Amino acid sequence: MNSFSYLLEEPQKRLDTFLAGENELTRSAIKKLIEDGHVFVNGEIVTKAGRELKIGDTVLLEIPDSEPLSIRPEDIPIDIVYQDSDLAVVNKPQGMTVHMGAGNADGTLVNALLFHLDSLSGINGVIRPGIVHRIDKDTSGLLVVAKNDRAHLSLSKQIAEKTCHRVYFALLEGEVKEDRGRITTYIGRSPVDRIKMAVVPEGKGKLAITDFEVEKKFQGYTLMKFTLQTGRTHQIRVHAKYMGHPVVGDPVYGYKNQKFKLKGQLLHAAELTLVHPTTGETMTFHAPLPNYFTEVLEKLK
């Protein structure tokens, strides 16, 4: 069992909200840890997620040893860009789901990781071992995987505090006028279609900030560089649509009539910068655009 302690520096925060901000664990995982008696405030067990905290309170979080995994390892080839005893960086292909969910019990990145890696963190439970953050099924590119709980908490905190930087490239419909800028909105469930995410009024969703910069303009298309300042579900895809220039090939937020025969959106997580949990070294990883992406760019030339 691993233990992590925190000193509260801001008042009037719920216990579950505070821990979510510190670790970016799933809300359900935090709630379960609290209810199971694994959280202490000023030395006393607290089982209410809504417990209010004040300046100077100390919070101790215990992470029990992970349960035996019920997901079977699968010998699925994956591109492991880097790995050591604490973490692995993987270049996920388009079409692969990150973890098990409704309709995909196998063939996921987690199934592949269980086969290829010697260990994975257990904080996110048996369904999502090692998964610190996700990218969409039909988005390709880099994501970091934690191989132990200590590394998981460190990486999650970096994402929450925006010290872990993620850069994406996307081909957008139309020619974007602005060369660079920042999109700041709130993103939540679409009031029209609950399967989709959408830009919503303040108070109806979470703050979402995306920086963009034009890489190259083509006739009728724009190759764009996006840097995430927050990590909301479908953030770049929703913000691209909000700009009036959806991602090419996006089956959810894009145009119905597509010029190119694609299996998903042309969106790629090309760069990932993080601080190593043990050494403190700043590390940057790159993944080139996949072939199907570059083929489209060649056609546009």
Does residue 8 sit in the same domain as residue 34?
Answer: yes
Q: Is residue 276 part of a domain?
A: no
List the Cα angle 136/139/143 in 5-degree steps.
75
Establish whether 84 is a catalytic residue: no
Does residue 217 sit in the same domain as residue 262?
Answer: yes
Does residue 204 sit in the same domain as residue 262?
Answer: yes
Tell me which of 105, 137, 159 is where a domain ends: 159
Give the CATH number for residue 82: 3.30.2350.10
Cα gap 144→88, rounded to integer Å:
6
Q: Nearest Cα to 137, choosing from 163, 157, 110? A: 110
Does residue 186 sit in the same domain as residue 256?
Answer: yes
The whole domain housing 30 covers: 2-63
Give the CATH number for residue 37: 3.10.290.10
Cα–chain center distance at 71: 21
Q: Residue 212's beta-bridge partner residues?
A: 181, 226
What pTM did the predictor assign? 0.77
Tell me which of 63, 93, 112 is where a domain ends: 63
Tell me which of 63, 81, 101 is where a domain ends: 63
Does residue 219 sit in the same domain as residue 201?
Answer: yes
Burial 104-128 (b: 16+ CB within 10 A, else e): eeeebbbbbbbebbebbbbbbbeeb
Taking only the tens of pLDDT, the chain with its 301 residues reads: 677 888 887 766 688 888 877 765 667 778 888 888 889 999 889 898 888 888 888 989 887 765 555 678 899 999 999 999 999 999 999 999 887 664 556 788 999 999 999 998 887 666 678 888 889 999 999 999 999 999 999 998 898 888 899 999 999 999 999 999 999 999 998 988 878 999 999 988 999 999 999 999 999 999 999 999 998 989 999 999 999 999 999 999 999 888 898 999 999 999 999 999 999 999 999 999 999 999 999 999 8
Catalytic residue among 16, 136, 138, 149: 136
Largest CA-CA distance found in the chain, in angstroms, rounded: 65
